[in-house]
Structure 1
């Protein structure tokens, strides 16, 4: 009879400990894929931004380093033309060169990268350019003076010179960059909270078991 009384208080503790192990294993399984997937945390220009000139490049920032050999970025211009962008990958930043001579309008930047778990991650950002086309002057050049026979003509004062091919254009609006943040911290918070609550439950049940065992002795 005494052995039966001593054994029964331990049963709830064992069951709760088993539940704790199962819960921890399940939460750990959630943490792994959440941490393995690479997440876009910001871009320059911002998604949905409006800029006054076509940027020379677009920068995408992720929460984890990006593998350069699997990164791809496609640029859809206002006219619908799609081009594969030349990339520069440094740690978690992917910079895509935009085609020269871009026109004003809506741009779509589609990307595909590879996560640490081997799964491809795709997405896109969009921004709008309100200024003139790259390499195009805002005002038409004034008419030149007709040269007299035997004399050289002088170009009209103030006439803008044509932009050289590949000449850079103005940068996007200041402040367009978004600082990167971690994408999986909430999972760790849930795991820690579950462990603390489970541990507290074990202490309460163990204390009740000791009291019950002492009262029945």
Structure 2
């Protein structure tokens, strides 16, 4: 009887260890699948690049990871002189193009956008760039031409370039996070399965003990 109890305890321990091993081995698979899941639309590239310094710009082009719904598109471009858009933006699949004024003033410009992907997910953010060429209509004043010595170039100091993740940070804050709920559910299922197996093993051991055990009391003599 003692040997049967020891055997049942060993079996219980082995089942628990196997269950934990299976759950632990499944965690990397869940994590890999979670990281491979496609996210909602996000900004993947811009022309000019975010934080870039260029001579001048005629248009701003933004490319997203999914096609964009033109009906809910909004793009604003502002600079030293205010609004700088020239007409409505156009959409070609996942690429949005916003024409700009012909002669942009020299300085920093900010592009603010809000788009909705084909799956209905909104994406918003902003991109900045700096131009260094003055408009062609700006002619030098007499005081500038009469200068005895040339003055240092008055090009605008480029703003510090943001980190590579700035475009990603511009995407909507409600992007799907890693589905840890699936991992937790997997763990719960594994533990429940282990508990069921343990219950079955213990019940089987109890049935064996009751079927092999003798009578508890001695028979009485009949008169």
* 1:45 aligned residue: 48
Compared CA separation, residues 179 and 119, structure 1 to 2 (3 A): closer
* 1:99 aligned residue: 101
Aligned residues: 146
Q: Quick check: 1:133 aligned with 2:134?
A: yes
Q: Equivalent residue of 2:125, what SS?
A: strand
Q: How does 1:8-87 map to 2 (within 5 A)?
A: 38-47=41-50, 49-83=51-85, 85-87=87-89
* 1:187 aligned residue: 178
Q: Equivalent residue of 1:43, what SS?
A: strand
TM-score relative to the length of structure 2 = 0.51
The structure that has the greater radius of gyration is: 2
* 1:108 aligned residue: 110
**Aligned-partner Cα distance in 2 for 1:86–1:200:** 56
Alignment match of 1:205 (pick from 195, 216, 219): 195
String of CA shifts for 1:95-126, please: whole Å, max 9, x gaps. Answer: 11121111210101111222456565432211
State the Cα RMSD in Å: 4.0
Q: Equivalent residue of 2:85, what SS?
A: strand
* 1:214 aligned residue: 204
Compared CA separation, residues 187 and 104, structure 1 to 2 (3 A): same
TM-score relative to the length of structure 1 = 0.52
Q: Equivalent residue of 1:83, what SS?
A: coil
Structure 2 residue runs without a partner (length 5+): 1-33, 146-163, 208-223
Higher relative contact order (CA 8 A, sep 6+): 1
Deviation, structure 1 residue 191 = 5.0
* 2:24 aligned residue: none
**Aligned-partner Cα distance in 2 for 1:179–1:81:** 22
The runs of at least 4 consecutive aligned structure 1 residues that moved more than 6 Å come to: 136-140
Contact 1:54 1:102 in 2 (8 A): yes
Structure 1 residue runs without a partner (length 5+): 1-30, 144-175
Q: Equivalent residue of 1:89, what SS?
A: strand
Deviation, structure 1 residue 206 = 2.1
Contact 1:42 1:60 in 2 (8 A): yes
